Structure 1
């Protein structure tokens, strides 16, 4: 990433504050319930003023958007980092095993793996809560849509395409849907994040649909 595109100290601090509020909100939602938790409760527990909360988020449901977005960003960056020689379907499979992985390369948990596991468990809890909250489902849907647009931009970059082709748009749509379905299916059950029932394995299975594309 070029140095000019690196976030400033102010931007990093804002991102850290947003994520801190998001984790606080998710914790309160899980402990007290979505309906019983107010934006003011989240602000107080996060140690910020209510006006600071509303500077970052319009509603209490939107407060957890950074937790959803973090996983989406990790997925897009993993696609960008995939080896250059890989075809689009292979690059997507390569990325999904890393973005949604719950184990280190040799089974040992690193700090990044632990953080990924914690994020997945937050998402599982929030998706279960969203069953009774149209507002929370809307936040998840908006994140998924934004993730698809980000993924499309990465695929255009990887293939050096002048413009997004119908094939790349479809690939981004199918891949995003595969990850969404995998995470939602895993969240609905009790399988651990690692193994055949985890989100990475489920997403890899869903991505098999891309093998039918007429890639050049």
Structure 2
């Protein structure tokens, strides 16, 4: 049964229907200078993703693709040009956080070239899970609602784990460029850092709203604790590539 959507209204009107084709990747393909068409497609995709996240967070797995399309202000056929399933629609929103984390990590690595890799990882992780404005705080709340909805939806869980797998793969070359440790250790460090992020958000989302003591630590505090525990046995993170 369809659910009447009540998400935050989109900031801008969505772009016209794109040409038929397979669902595009969340990031811009090809040139570092995306065309106007690519920017419009990406904007429409993000509006659909925000609408999907808000609906799943509020209503759970009973949300339909038609609900999401209506909330995003697009036709159902437009929805299916971007996404194959209703669960796939949340992937771009989750991927935005991943890309921001990697961008912060690269920037901090350049700004603080005297810090060990371990400290740079912790700072970037804390920043990624500390909302800088209301829109970022809202996205984090939607992520919490999504994680709660995932308990009863294997398809949503599959999207969550796929995004984190892609995050881990993207993190490997970043860490390999920061440390003189070998490739196996860089891969292990990426797995540890990614797991620290994932478990921190999952733990925070699972905490009972009615038990304030269980919510004493936010995701930013949890991820630093996790990062230290999971990377303690990786000496390569104590030094930087020279």
What TM-score do you get using the length of structure 1 for normalisation?
0.84
- Please state how far the C-alpha of 1:88 moved relative to its aligned partner: 1.7
Partner of 2:40: 13
Partner of 1:38: 64
Among 87, 112, 115, which residue is 2:116 paired with? 87
Measure, in 2, the Cα distance between the counterparts of 1:155 and 1:6: 26
* 8 Å contact from structure 2 (residues 57, 142) kept in 1: no
Partner of 1:108: none
Among 186, 209, 212, which residue is 2:233 paired with? 212
Measure, in 1, the Cα distance between the counterparts of 2:116 and 2:58: 44
Measure, in 2, the Cα distance between the counterparts of 1:150 and 1:115: 25
Among 190, 214, 218, which residue is 1:198 paired with? 218
- Please state how far the C-alpha of 1:160 moved relative to its aligned partner: 7.7
Among 25, 48, 52, which residue is 2:74 paired with? 48
Any residues of structure 2 matched to 1:69-88 within 5 Å, and which?
69-82=95-108, 83-88=112-117
* 8 Å contact from structure 1 (residues 196, 202) kept in 2: no
Partner of 2:125: 96
Deviates more, 1:144-153 or 1:126-135: 144-153
Number of residue-to-residue matches in the alignment: 199
- Please state how far the C-alpha of 1:24 moved relative to its aligned partner: 1.1
Measure, in 1, the Cα distance between the counterparts of 2:58 and 2:123: 36
Q: Does 1:143 align with 2:151?
A: no
Structure 2 unmatched runs, 5+ = 1-30
Deviates more, 1:46-55 or 1:142-151: 46-55
- Please state how far the C-alpha of 1:80 moved relative to its aligned partner: 0.8
Higher-Rg member (1/2): 2
Distance 1:31 1:203, change over 3 A: closer
Structure with the bigger percentage of helix: 1
Q: Helix, strand or coil: the match of 2:61?
A: coil
Measure, in 2, the Cα distance between the counterparts of 1:197 and 1:186: 8
What TM-score do you get using the length of structure 2 for normalisation?
0.75
Q: Helix, strand or coil: the match of 1:86?
A: coil
Measure, in 2, the Cα distance between the counterparts of 1:214 and 1:159: 10
- Please state how far the C-alpha of 1:147 moved relative to its aligned partner: 0.8
Deviates more, 1:135-144 or 1:9-18: 9-18
- Please state how far the C-alpha of 1:43 moved relative to its aligned partner: 1.2
Partner of 2:93: 67
